[in-house]
Amino acid sequence: MTDIVSIQHRDAANTFKRIYSLYQRNRDLISVGAYEQGSDPNIDLAIQAIPELEQFLQQSLEEAVDLNQSINGLMNLFE
């Protein structure tokens, strides 16, 4: 992957995948209220970040986003 993307792009993609995956693995606990806020700082971060991550993944049919815009948007999520 480092042959075709920058280190910053790779790091942002890995961070996105880690946070999104953590949320998905705990989604059932979170959605039924069984997760207690503060018991895991990483899950707390995932809960806080998930709206922006999901918004990043969605694009309307009328919206055109080129590769550079997409990369910048991804990296801006974690600044």
If we measure between CA atoms, which residue out of 53, 2, 64 comes closest to residue 23? Answer: 53
Reported as a single tens digit per residue, the pLDDT across 46-75 is 999 999 999 999 988 898 999 999 999 999
User: Do 7 and 75 meet the contact criterion of CB atoms below 8 Å apart?
Assistant: no
Note the pTM of the prediction, 2 decimals.
0.86
Reported as a single tens digit per residue, the pLDDT across 8-51 is 999 999 999 999 999 999 999 999 999 999 999 999 999 999 99
